[in-house]
Amino acid sequence: MLLVKLGGSVLTDKARLRTPRKSAIARLTKELAGLGDDLIVVHGAGSFGHVLARKYALNGPAVPAKAKGAAVVQRDVRTLDALVVDGLLKAGLAPVVLPPSAVLGLDDGRVASFDVAAFREYVRQGFTPVTFGDVVRDATRGVSVCSGDILMLELAKAFRPRSVVFAADVDGLCTADPKRAKDARLLLSVAAADLSLIDFGPAKGADVTGGIEAKVRRMLEIASFADETIMVNGNVKNRVRDALRGRIVIGTRVVGGH
């Protein structure tokens, strides 16, 4: 089993509402064909989800009429998802969409239920399940944001994949934000013990899914359920494909605590 996360920053222009990066979507979906192993695809919501999720405060406590904002975000995210599905179909795969809003329930931001049977059954029938960052029901908050990374963790736990690949818009994890710090350098590997060495920058830059540090902590947890976990640059042609094939590529290996 291979598990890949296509980051919202690769699939979309994160600064501009509902703006897909169509050529990246076409290329990346093509890279996922012909891998010769079962595959599950998770993708971020990028500018199809984050902008309005923040506007409607969908990660906050329950407020009346939050349903309408959530419905708009869900609709937008599905527009992006349809582009990914079209790419996968064109590449010759048989994608089946399992939206988190349908198969996952949260309680105060934590996973309360997750229907892994649907994923398992479709994989067995030769499909490539596709899921994504979404707004889902939350027993305490009404609705809440479920990031693609939460799904990665649940799927890694359930399938114990041979390889997990995170496709980002940078070469990997750096000692600091390379856009701010000139001396930032790429970490070839990261383990829990390395977290204190990384300058994650100000927390207020965090997106609706919790910011970089939370992402790295979750990646470490995910890595503990997989043989190999790596974060690579999805903007570089064939890097995701090569990583999934087990080749040595530029990126940050994530070493989970076994």
Kindly list the residues in this chain that would bind its own copies in the complex (CB under 8 A). 64-68, 70-72, 74-75, 78-79, 82, 85-86, 89, 92-99, 101-103, 105, 113, 115, 117-118, 121-122, 125-127, 137, 139, 142-143
Is the Cβ of residue 115 or residue 199 nearer to its own copies in the bound state? 115
Is the Cβ of residue 79 or residue 238 nearer to its own copies in the bound state? 79
3-state secondary structure of 107: strand
Is the Cβ of residue 81 or residue 149 nearer to its own copies in the bound state? 81
d(CA 150, CA 132): 10
Is the Cβ of residue 37 or residue 121 nearer to its own copies in the bound state? 121
CB 165, min distance to its own copies, A: 22
Is the Cβ of residue 92 or residue 205 nearer to its own copies in the bound state? 92
CB 142, min distance to its own copies, A: 5
98 neighbors 130 (Cβ within 8 angstroms) = yes
135 neighbors 101 (Cβ within 8 angstroms) = yes
CB 29, min distance to its own copies, A: 13
Is the Cβ of residue 98 or residue 198 nearer to its own copies in the bound state? 98
Residue among 108, 218, 206, 60 at smallest CA distance from 154:
218
CA distances (Å), origin 174, targets 14, 30, 73, 196, 203: 20, 28, 31, 13, 17
Question: Any idea which residue has 């939350």 for tokens?
Answer: 138
Count of residues making up the chain: 258
Say which residues have a Cβ less than 8 Å from residue 174's Cβ, sequence separation at least 6.
184, 185, 186, 187, 198
Is the Cβ of residue 103 or residue 219 nearer to its own copies in the bound state? 103
CB 67, min distance to its own copies, A: 4
Burial of 188 (C-beta count, 10 Å sphere; 0-12/13-18/19+): exposed
CB 62, min distance to its own copies, A: 8
d(CA 222, CA 241): 20
CB 195, min distance to its own copies, A: 36
208 — phi, psi (to 5°)?
-65, -15
Question: Any idea which residue has 């710090």 for tokens?
Answer: 181
CB 210, min distance to its own copies, A: 23
